[in-house]
Amino acid sequence: ERPIEALERALLETQAQRDRVSAAESVVHWFKCDIRITDNKGLYLASAEAEKHRIPLICMYLISPQDFEAHLTAPVRVDFILRNLRVLKHDLAQLKIPLHVEVVDKRRSIPSRLMELCNIWGAKHVFCNIEYEVDELRRETALVRACSGQGISFSAIADRCVVEPGRLTNSSGAPLRVYSPWHRRWCAYLNQHPSELDPFPVPKMNPANTGDTYPDLFRCEIPQAPRSKWLSEQDRAKFSVMWPAGEHEARDRLSRFLQERADEYQNARNIPSANGTSVLSPHLAAGTLAARTVVREAREASPNQKLTDDRKQGHSRWIGELAFRDFYTSILCYWPYICMNKPLKLEYSNIEWEDNMDHFKKWTDGRTGFPIVDAAMRQLAHTGYMHNRCRMMAASFLAKDLLIDWRMGEKWFMEHLIDGDFASNNGGWGFSASCGADPQPYFRIFNPLLQSDKFDAQGDYIRKWVPELADIQDRKGIHDPYGQGYARVAETNGYPKPMVDHQQSRERALLRYKAGLGRS
Ligand code: FAD
């Protein structure tokens, strides 16, 4: 039984008992990756339950440093989450709804603390939105049963995706793992069920005396992100300007993108220097914006009345990219072994990787000698974000040119991305290393010089992130300084020579992949 099916079964088996749970003193909504009050299904249902019984809604967010560590959450992402919580706390307080934020002690588990808090607050109904990683699904399954044993109704709601995982199957009812046919079904499903895009109302105002009943909950402070080697005071100040937090900011960014840039998305999306994408991924990952809101508003702003897989029209193309998020979540649900370090295409489990930490370090430091790859890795280090085209180039370079296990790159990305999301990151790495949800065989190997020439034609992105090369104005020289007569400039400024020969690396990768497949 898959973890998602175990959770569904637990919810079904406890349904009758949960329906019988009587009202108590309060209803709880447990926030996780859904830090918003707008268009939040779990929060809306919790609020409706509280209103039905005329009792207050209490919200909580439990911070588990161990979970952050286990999930490799980047310090920049932790900081962003905590800043989002501050905005959320303020917005909820306007509705007289308290947000209790607590760092859960290492010796305690989240489930035991959650049940303890329910007892303290006299809560018999708990709501949360589902997270689809295996550990989270197992934790919630156990919680449904443990709460039910204590007379508490625990409801886990599907809200992360626009189309819930499991809805789209092939003609024999099996889940799909090829994007194009899946996407056609995704569009058709939403065209047939337009109400799936309807927004969920914001929660109702709590009873007027809630502040007197729970004064401490309104007073509690949201902690600062713990200091780490990487997130200094300076970085924290930098990121708060670079990545303004909160759902208002997220919705403003969405409106600006739809008004100003979505029309041109299909042309600009692959140009890293062009500001052609929405840069909404940090908000979608933190849940300050619902994917449903994004698709609804994009469709309303689009000249197409229906969702289509038209790749030439900006809005459709953009909605199609957003659908990848649902697609990879669906893959995670139906092939959960990808959470256990296994490639989706299991036949790619036996590739012999190079165990070269010196090469890995050059890649992480942005000193490979391939300017486009180095620019990408430095953008990540400086901002916690990397453009999608550059993610593909950097990932392909690690897995194919350096033949370093793609899982090391996947981990590095998670540890540094502000938008780190297991399903999307794993999907992107699987695609780039040819062992994920991609019908193409392994012989598609990006040539970093050609990619650079094509997608950063004027070299603007390279000049921004690799200052050692900023003075090279030559159209060809900027992509390949040592090969195109700019060795002296590069050398003088301390820029390294290419660490590998791409043609030779390509041949080596083809042989290794072939041999790996032969062993499986
Ligand atoms: P836009 O082009 O404006 O797209 C809008 C939204 O659609 C994005 O915010 C994102 O939520 C979604 N989206 C777009 N492309 C993809 C995609 N290929 N896969 C999944 N969702 C997509 N995305 C993450 O959100 N978190 C990750 O950890 C992550 N890791 C990646 C690792 C690799 C190796 C690769 C190749 C891709 C990864 N992506 C990840 C996908 C993609 O690079 C980012 O979502 C995108 O760059 C975010 O920028 P944007 O918001 O401007 O995107």
pLDDT of amino acid 402: 98
Q: What pLDDT is stored for residue 190 in this prediction? A: 97
Binding residues for FAD: 265, 277-281, 318, 321-328, 419-421
Question: Which pLDDT does position 227 carry in this prediction?
Answer: 63
Q: How far is CA 394 from each of CA 376, 391, 477, rounded to the nearest angstrom?
A: 7, 5, 20
Instruction: Output the ligand 1 site: residues, CB below 6 A.
Output: 269, 277-281, 284-285, 321-322, 324-325, 328, 388, 391-392, 395, 413, 417, 419-421, 424-425, 427-429, 432
On the 0-12 / 13-18 / 19+ scale of CB atoms within 10 A, 423 is buried
Quick one: average pLDDT of 137-146? 97
Strands 123-129 and 99-103, how do they pair? unpaired
Q: How far apart are CA 190 and CA 17, in angstroms?
A: 33
Q: Which atom of ligand 1 is nearest to the CA of 265?
A: 2
Q: Quick one: average pLDDT of 4-32?
A: 94
CA distance 287 to 278: 15
Q: What was the pLDDT predicted at 226?
A: 67
pLDDT on residue 228: 63
Q: Which atom of ligand 1 is nearest to the CA of 417?
A: 28
Q: How far is the CA of 410 from the centre of ligand 1 (A)?
A: 14
- pLDDT at position 13 over 70: yes
pLDDT at 223: 83
Share of the chain above pLDDT 90, in %: 90
Find the 420 Cα to ligand 1 centroid distance in Å. Answer: 9
Q: Residue 241 pLDDT > 70, yes or no?
A: yes
Residue nearest to atom 23 of ligand 1 (CA): 424
Predicted confidence at residue 168, as pLDDT, reads 96
pLDDT at 342: 97
Assess whether pLDDT exceeds 90 at residue 243. Answer: yes
Instruction: Give residue 255 CA to ligand 1 midpoint distance, Å.
Output: 19
Residue 463 pLDDT grade (very low, low, confident, very high; cuts 50, 70, 90): very high
Output the average pLDDT for the chain.
Answer: 95
- What 3-state class would DSSP assign to 445? coil
- Distance between Cα 189 and ligand 1 center (Å): 23
Ligand 1 centre distance from Cα of residue 109 (Å) = 32
Counting Cα atoms < 13 Å in the Cβ hemisphere of 128 gives: 23
Q: Please state the ipTM of this predicted complex.
A: 0.99
- The tens digit of pLDDT for each residue in 280-291 reads 999 999 999 999
Which of 249, 419, 431 is the pocket-test mutation for ligand 1 (most atoms within 8 Å of CB)? 419
Mean pLDDT of all residues in 10-37: 94
Report pLDDT digits (tens) over 195-235. Answer: 999 999 999 999 999 999 999 999 988 987 766 656 888 99
Mutate to test the pocket of ligand 1, among 182, 388, 417 (most ligand atoms within 8 A of CB): 388
Please give the angle made by the CA atoms of 267, 268 and 269, to the nearest 5 degrees. Answer: 105
CA distances 67 to 63, 135, 251, Å, are 8, 10, 28
Residue percentage of the chain with pLDDT more than 70: 99
Nearest CA to ligand 1 atom 9: 281
CA of residue 279 to ligand 1 center, whole Å: 9
96-111 pLDDT, tens digit per residue, is 999 999 999 887 889 9
Considering only residues 431 and 21, tell me which one the structure prediction assigns the higher pLDDT: 431
Threshold 0.90, pTM exceeds: yes
Taking only the tens place, the pLDDT of each residue in 363-379 is 999 999 999 999 999 99
DSSP H or E run through 80 = helix 75-94
- Say if residue 250's pLDDT is above 80: yes
